[in-house]
């Protein structure tokens, strides 16, 4: 097995009695993009700063490329960091900002110039090289911060909420640009966000955090399609969460009118169904079909978000409707649910 670029072993951080991060473990492989995702205050920045060296862990170990750097200062860690508010030096031009880390490393002049040019080219900032940060847009400042972090060719790139200072449209464009740039230079990247869509779009692996602890680590589709806890299910997109139990015939009972074949008995449990896993029946369905009544619906352009009633359960259903079927309140529908898309949730470690 190849060595991890970053290895976090049970790191924790406490401030007095307050536990900001506990028992956090993670292995990052070369070129992997990992996202720390969770609500504000859950410990994302603290974790990132323990990797960068700005916060010293209370316990555990941080290894980068196999070296234990748990107590090493930031400049000895082979990391490049982009701060939430970019942290550019206001009195330095774009190229001086980018060269900053190289100056610290006493790089030879010609090599330094080549590296700065390479970074300006990579981030398409050549025309801005003599400008000061205040003469740049938010997106351009972000690119300077990225170029500065990458200039030292770190083993790991660290990004703290890199898009949070940008407006919605620019955010989306820069997100795609940054993603393709990171993939092009194939740098191992750890980034922090509270935006689930951003995490799903960019990450190879997502670590969902709540109250300082890891709730679940997985690929975007594992996190979305098979969340392990209610917290993860509800944090990542819309979902139906329904108490359920297995009956004597082995079926999973969500309601007297909603029973599904299920591979394993679960006893008393909590089931999760994504809204798009409930589909209009076609008449040729292999999956079980249920009678439903429309409670309400909102037209979203591409599709409808509908609340339907099956037995005594109200469920969210997302999807398109053919023109002959109107999801008006009171309308009767036949829907199917694929039992493989029904997931059993377990309680969170931390309540």
User: Residues interacting with ligand ADP, by CB under 6 A?
Assistant: 15, 18, 20, 38, 40-46
Distance of alpha carbon 10 from alpha carbon 306, whole angstroms: 43
Residue 45 CB, nearest approach to Mg ion (Å) = 3
How would you classify residue 19: left for phi > 0, otherwise alpha for psi between -120 and 50, otherwise beta? beta
3-state secondary structure 269-296: EEEEECHHHEEECCCCCCCCEEEEEEEE
Sheet holding 304-310, edge to edge: 278-280, 332-337, 289-299, 304-310, 313-319
Partner touching 223 among Mg ion, ligand ADP, none, CB below 5 to 8 Å by kind = none
User: Shortest gap between Cβ of 21 and ligand ADP (angstroms)?
Assistant: 7
User: Which of Mg ion, ligand ADP, none does 169 bind, CB closer than 5 to 8 A by kind?
Assistant: none
Residue 7 interacting partner from ligand ADP, Mg ion, none (CB closer than 5 to 8 Å by kind): none
Least distance from ligand ADP to the Cβ atom of residue 194, Å: 7
Contacts of 204 (CB under 8 A, 6+ apart): 32, 33, 34, 219
* CB nearer to ligand ADP: pick between 13 and 148: 13
Partner whose binding site includes residue 265, from Mg ion, ligand ADP, none (CB under 5 to 8 Å by kind)? none
Q: Which does residue 20 touch among Mg ion, ligand ADP, none (CB within 5 to 8 A, set by kind)?
A: ligand ADP
Cα–Cα distance measured from residue 257 to residue 270, given in angstroms and rounded to the nearest whole number = 17
3-state secondary structure of 329: coil
Q: How far is the CB of 212 from ligand ADP (least distance, A)?
A: 7
Nearer to ligand ADP, 58 or 93 (CB): 58
Q: How far is CA 14 from CA 17, 20, 72, 211, 226, in A?
A: 7, 6, 19, 12, 31
Give me the sheet containing 213-218, strands edge to edge: 79-82, 156-160, 188-193, 33-37, 205-210, 213-218
Q: How far apart are CA 251 and CA 89, in angstroms?
A: 63
Nearest approach, Cβ of residue 86 and Mg ion (Å): 14
Cα gap 128→145, rounded to integer Å: 13
| Residue with smaller CB distance to ligand ADP, 16 or 322 | 16
Least Å from the CB of residue 209 to ligand ADP: 7
Give the tokens for residue 69.
């750097």
- Indicate the residue among 45 and 141 with the shorter CB distance to Mg ion: 45
- Interacting residues with Mg ion (CB under 5 A): 45
Q: Are strands 251-255 and 205-210 parallel, antiparallel or unpaired?
A: unpaired
Closer to ligand ADP by CB, 42 or 119: give it.
42
Q: In this chain, which residue has its C-beta nearest to Mg ion? A: 45
- 196 neighbors 237 (Cβ within 8 angstroms): yes
Choosing among Mg ion, ligand ADP, none, which partner's interface includes residue 227 (Cβ < 5 to 8 Å by kind)?
none
Return the number of the residue (56 or 126) whose C-beta is nearest ligand ADP. 56
Nearest CB to ligand ADP, comparing residues 45 and 142: 45
12 versus 259: smaller Cβ distance to ligand ADP: 12
> Cβ 17 to Mg ion, closest distance in Å?
21
Distance CA 239, CA 178 (A): 30
Minimum Å gap between C-beta 19 and ligand ADP is 9
Give the one entry of Mg ion, ligand ADP, none that residue 46 binds, where binding means its C-beta sits below a cut-off of 5 to 8 angstroms depending on kind. ligand ADP
43 binds, among Mg ion, ligand ADP, none (CB under 5 to 8 A by kind): ligand ADP
């Amino acid at each position: 097995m190849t060595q991890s670029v970053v290895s976090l072993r049970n790191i924790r951080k406490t401030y007095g009695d307050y536990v900001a991060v506990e028992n956090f473990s993670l292995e990052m492989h070369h070129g992997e993009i990992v996202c720390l995702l969770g609500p504000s205050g859950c410990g994302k920045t603290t974790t990132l700063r323990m990797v960068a060296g700005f916060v010293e862990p209370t316990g555990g170990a941080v290894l980068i490329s196999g070296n234990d750097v748990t107590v090493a200062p930031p400049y000895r860690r082979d990391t490049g960091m982009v701060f939430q508010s970019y942290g550019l030096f206001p009195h330095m031009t774009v190229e001086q900002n980018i060269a900053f880390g190289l100056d610290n490393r006493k790089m030879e002049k010609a090599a330094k110039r080549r590296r700065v040019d390479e970074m300006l080219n990579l981030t398409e900032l050549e025309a801005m090289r003599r400008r000061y940060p205040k003469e740049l847009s938010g997106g351009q400042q972000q690119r300077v911060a990225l170029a500065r972090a990458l200039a030292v060719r770190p083993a790991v790139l660290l990004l703290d909420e890199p898009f949070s200072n940008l407006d919605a449209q620019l955010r989306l464009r820069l997100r795609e640009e940054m993603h393709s740039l990171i993939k092009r230079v194939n740098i191992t990247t750890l980034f922090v966000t509270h935006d689930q869509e951003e995490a799903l779009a960019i990450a190879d692996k997502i670590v969902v955090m709540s109250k300082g602890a890891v709730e679940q680590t997985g690929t975007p589709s594992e996190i979305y399609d098979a969340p392990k806890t209610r917290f993860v299910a509800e944090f990542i997109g819309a979902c139906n969460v329904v108490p359920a139990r297995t009956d004597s015939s082995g079926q999973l009972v969500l309601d007297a009118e909603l029973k599904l074949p299920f591979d394993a008995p679960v006893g008393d449990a909590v089931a999760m169904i994504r809204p798009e896993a409930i589909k209009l029946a076609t008449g040729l369905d292999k999956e079980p079909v249920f009678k439903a009544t429309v409670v309400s619906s909102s037209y979203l352009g591409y599709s409808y978000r509908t609340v339907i009633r099956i037995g005594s359960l109200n469920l969210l259903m997302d999807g398109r409707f053919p023109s002959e079927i109107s999801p008006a309140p009171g309308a009767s529908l036949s829907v199917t649910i694929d039992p493989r898309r029904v997931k059993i949730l377990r309680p969170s470690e931390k309540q």
